[in-house]
């Protein structure tokens, strides 16, 4: 194990101590678990990007050449 020091807000420290007592584990163990969980998750920005890409073209509506001729379609929509 590597020893490290962190600073918590008073509220965080109290909440951690209460939870550690309820779960019958040390505060250090709760922190290690939280770090592990955080490291296992993908960055939020990466996850959001993948969700956005998955949604592209999801509805499949509109002209097939919309991505190539979007300026023309936009001008047409504004002239109506």
The Cα angle at residue 23 between residues 20 and 24, in degrees rounded to 5:
75
Which pLDDT band, with edges at 50, 70 and 90, does 57 fall under?
Answer: low
Q: How far apart are CA 20 and CA 27, in angstroms?
A: 6
State the CB neighbour count (10 A cutoff) for residue 28. 13
Report the mean per-residue pLDDT for the chain. Answer: 86
Global pTM?
0.53
pLDDT higher than threshold 80 for residue 6: yes
**3-class secondary-structure state, position 6:** coil
């Amino acid at each position: 194990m590597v020893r490290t020091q962190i600073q918590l807000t008073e509220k965080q420290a109290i909440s951690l101590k209460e939870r550690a007592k309820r779960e019958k584990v040390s505060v250090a163990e709760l922190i290690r678990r939280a770090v592990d969980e955080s490291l296992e998750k993908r960055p939020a920005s990466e996850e959001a990007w993948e969700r956005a890409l998955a949604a592209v073209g999801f509805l499949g509506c509109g002209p097939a050449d919309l991505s190539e001729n979007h300026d023309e379609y936009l001008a047409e929509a504004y002239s109506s």
